A and B are shown apart, each in its own frame.
Chain A
Amino acid sequence: DAMVIQNPRYQVTQFGKPVTLSCSQTLNHNVMYWYQQKSSQAPKLLFHYYDKDFNNEADTPDNFQSRRPNTSFCFLDIRSPGLGDAAMYLCATSILDRTYEQYFGPGTRLTVT
């Protein structure tokens, strides 16, 4: 089945130790999103790609970076995780059409010790 895959599902990192979360998709969608979700709150958009065109949200901390080497893969890099970065990170995809829904991966739960 076509899907959005996130690895790992659970990630533990130390305060200040860089960490990378990965997302892959078999849907061939040209838009990919990264969201941060804390404690069953609304997902907060960090950034998104239209193909390779990167769009950063104004309030996304510089500590968060992203890479999209090809259509299928997208990475979230947290350069120096703080305790406040502990959250669920959700990857989603969509086609480039405002009427189209998003397909979400299962998420990666990040713990910072």
Chain B
Amino acid sequence: AQSVAQPEDQVNVAEGNPLTVKCTYSVSGNPYLFWYVQYPNRGLQFLLKYITGDNLVKGSYGFEAEFNKSQTSFHLKKPSALVSDSALYFCAVRDTNAGKSTFGDGTTLTVKP
């Protein structure tokens, strides 16, 4: 079985400050990990993924995420937040043996000017 947890419903940061959105996962095999962003009344948009290799993954719009196998985490980060980053962020995991992805409950990021 696979599962993913986003422990924070809401993250608030000031523009220009670094941001972190947390994600932890549980899988029986090797994990494939994804981050998606959703703006109001829109579909989800792919940001980045970890499949194998370098633990630090870089994605769209200056976002990056760090895979930590020992802590089973895949936190999303950005060095300097923008107001336009305000959105709903979903972490998703897919086990190597799974036929589908499991999404976290989402974290609402609010960046204030």
Contacts and interface: CB of A to CB of B under 8 A. Distances in A.
Contacts of B94: 98
A21 interface: no
A113 interface: no
Contacts of B90: 42-43
Contact of A98 (B36, B43, B98, B105): B98
A55 B106 contact: no
Contacts of A70: none
Contact of A105 (B38, B43, B88): B43
A35 to B, nearest CB: 9
Interface stretch (B45-53, B64-72, B76-84): B45-53
A96 to B, nearest CB: 10
Contacts, number: 53
A90 B44 contact: yes
Nearest to B52: A99
Contacts of B49: 99, 101
A41 B43 contact: no
A107 to B, nearest CB: 5
Interface in A1-21: 4, 6
Contacts of B63: none
Nearest to A45: B100
Interface of A: 4, 6, 40-43, 45, 48, 55, 88, 90-92, 98-99, 101-107, 109
